[in-house]
Amino acid sequence: MAPTLAAQTAPVRGWRQTPTDSMAQHATVPGDQDPLRHLESVVARLRDPVNGCPWDLEQTHASLVPYVLEEAHEVADAIRHGDDRHLKEELGDLLLQVVLHARIGEENNRFDLDAIATAISDKLIRRHPHVFGEARAESTEAVRLSWEAIKAAERAEQSGGGQSSSPLSDQLAGKVRGQPALAAAMTISRMAAKAGFEWDAIDGVWGKVQEELDELKEAIASGDRRHAQDELGDVLFTLVNVARWCGLDPEEGLAATNQRFLERFSRVESALNGDLQGRSIQELEALWQQAKAAIRAENTQSS
């Protein structure tokens, strides 16, 4: 969560806490104001050059990028856990990022929240002619094909109508821009395979995995960090292709592994009263296996 909210609950150096009755007033949406407009006014106050928050005033589009990504991932995590209360909170944090960027754009006379909302509304209407126009769509696949065709026409118009010598690469570059690396790798590999750039069978993918692992080992042994980083990327990209061939989601798989690790590690830590220093790997491994077995038994009982 961005310091905007955290700073309201914990005094820090340079923080002047002045009790005021107006905090309750600002925390409640005025009866004659739309909640979204109220949020806009709160953010405008935070960005006020005279009476605003020093942290918020320092922020730019670029400095807020980590927070946008963090909040988006926290929304996804809340969805995975089926936690509606948490999801509502995280969606609010993500909405705050949108409103902050809109405010910065407005201050620079570039765009505002109304322009953002109008643009996305226009895009949705334009890309759903089967809902807002006379076109018909008999299936979700027909909708997808129509959507992609309209997007392609928009890109051609934006580029001046010229023909690219590498249209698929151009499309991929635009599609994966800003995506997490695993998701981008899946998108790239799917579209490349659909265009014919594909192994004949999954055995070829497994062979490529082994080839890339050998190259990674050699790069690490050579001490060339940059080369090793490149080879690590090749290994991960090839494993994404394994996932694609098997119909698996690498992002979901890794997220689940992270969660399992944290659950098991928490039990190991608790068994040692939080003191892992000086413990042998044999002792830690034994506790790890105990935690793994206990969690498996609990899951079996609850299912």
pLDDT computed for residue 7 by the predictor: 45
CA 256 to chain CA centroid, Å, is 15
Instruction: Calculate the alpha carbon distances from 184 to 175, 191, 257, 279, 295 in Å.
Output: 8, 11, 20, 40, 33
State which amino acid sits at residue 222: S
CA-wise closest residue to 52 among 13, 114, 113, 104: 104
Using DSSP's 3-state secondary structure scheme, residue 182 falls into: helix
- pLDDT tens for the chain, 303 residues long, are 556 544 444 444 454 555 455 555 565 656 667 999 999 999 999 999 999 999 999 999 999 999 999 999 899 889 988 999 999 999 999 999 999 999 999 999 999 999 999 999 999 999 999 999 999 988 999 998 898 889 878 877 877 666 667 777 777 777 778 788 899 999 999 999 998 999 999 999 999 999 999 999 999 999 999 999 999 999 999 999 999 999 999 988 998 999 999 999 999 999 999 999 999 999 999 999 999 999 999 988 886
Q: Which two tokens stand for residue 130?
A: 């089967």
State which amino acid sits at residue 271: A
pLDDT computed for residue 6 by the predictor: 42
Superfamily of domain 3-7+33-126: MazG-like (1.10.287.1080)
For the chain, what are the domain ranges? 3-7+33-126, 252-296
What is the per-residue pLDDT across 26-48, written as a single tens digit (0 to 9) for each? 656 566 679 999 999 999 999 99
pLDDT computed for residue 179 by the predictor: 83
Using DSSP's 3-state secondary structure scheme, residue 206 falls into: helix
The C-alpha atoms of residue 117 and residue 234 are separated, in whole angstroms, by 39
Encode 31-80 in three state secondary structure: CCCCHHHHHHHHHHHHCCCCCCCHHHHHCCCCCCHHHHHHHHHHHHHHHH
What is the per-residue pLDDT across 158-211, written as a single tens digit (0 to 9) for each? 776 666 677 777 777 777 787 888 999 999 999 999 989 999 999 999 999 999
Start-end of H helices in the chain: 3-6, 22-27, 35-46, 54-58, 65-80, 84-107, 113-126, 129-132, 140-158, 167-176, 181-194, 202-222, 225-246, 250-271, 281-302
CA-wise closest residue to 47 among 82, 17, 79, 4: 4
The C-alpha atoms of residue 266 and residue 245 are separated, in whole angstroms, by 34
The C-alpha atoms of residue 259 and residue 266 are separated, in whole angstroms, by 11
